[in-house]
Amino acid sequence: MSCTKLKWLGAIGLIVTGMIIPLSGNAADADNQYASPANVIDGRQLVQALRAGGYILYFRHAMTDHSFDDTDRINLANCATQRPLSDAGRKQMREIGRAIKTLGIRVSTVYSSPFCRSIETAKLGFGDRVTIVDDLRQGVDADQATAERRAQTLRKMLATLPVEPGTNTVISGHTGNLQEAVGIWPKPEGVAIIFKPGTDGKFTYIATLPPAQWQIFVRAKAKSGG
């Protein structure tokens, strides 16, 4: 982590540039310093909260074909030089998008990194209404000043309420963006990290949802009749 300012508060949590992350177990240990904290809300309560809107869903792009490497991180209009989504990743994101719709969770705005795998992730899950944000690009080659500027951009996005009441905002990005911004390394590919915007530039960590969790929520909804 380059510039993110952290302050440990023992069993209470971790303050990351205006965000409060509750900790549990060994999350404060050095080996787990980038792991997601325990979910603040989960299950049916989380689904109901997302249906009501007002949240930010940060997706790490869906599963990729790791037999390819990025060979050009400058001309991002050329998808042939970037690691692509795998067929399994495309299927994964389509299923996530359908599950979110089935659960009655509304999305009003979708942002994406300019990398092709991130844009495709966003479009497969939520349609073509995607706004590209250059500062969401993968930051492995960024100098310290650039990395911090990108982190500040993402923190501002996480603290911004969705434009329409009752809806949520989706961000499709990479691992390094979120780690630099809030100290969480999103894993595996396709995971969603959920935040709640607050006031005065603050936001709160809510939950981490592995890709398969959306289908679990759908099955629970069907079993309960709603």
**What is the pLDDT, as a whole number, of residue 33?**
64
Residue 5, domain member (yes or no): no
The least confident of 17-26, 62-71, 75-84, 96-105 is 17-26
The candidate with the shortest Cα–Cα distance to 191, out of 208, 179, 207, is 208
Axis-axis angle for helices 144-158, 175-182 (nearest 10): 80
**What is the pLDDT, as a whole number, of residue 4?**
34
pLDDT tier for residue 118 given thresholds of 50, 70 and 90: very high
Residue 226 has pLDDT above 80, yes or no: no
Residue type for position 116: C
Residue 107, domain member (yes or no): yes
Number of domain units in the chain: 1
> What is the average pLDDT across 128-141?
90
Q: Which two tokens stand for residue 54?
A: 């007002």
What's the chain's average pLDDT?
87
> What is the average pLDDT across 90-95?
98
Q: Using CA atoms, how far apart are residues 151 and 180, in angstroms rounded to an integer?
A: 6
The more confidently predicted of residues 131 and 21 is 131
58: domain range? 41-224
**What is the pLDDT, as a whole number, of residue 10?**
27
The more confidently predicted of residues 206 and 225 is 206
CB atoms within 10 A of CB 2: 15
Residue 85 has pLDDT above 80, yes or no: yes
Residue 167, domain member (yes or no): yes
Residue 18 has pLDDT above 70, yes or no: no
Residue 12, domain member (yes or no): no
Residue 203, domain member (yes or no): yes
Q: Using CA atoms, how far apart are residues 24 and 11, in angstroms rounded to an integer?
A: 7
**What is the pLDDT, as a whole number, of residue 32?**
57
pTM: 0.86
Residue 8, domain member (yes or no): no
The distance in angstroms from the start CA to the end CA of the chain is 42
Find the CATH number of the domain harbouring 89: 3.40.50.1240
Residue 24, domain member (yes or no): no
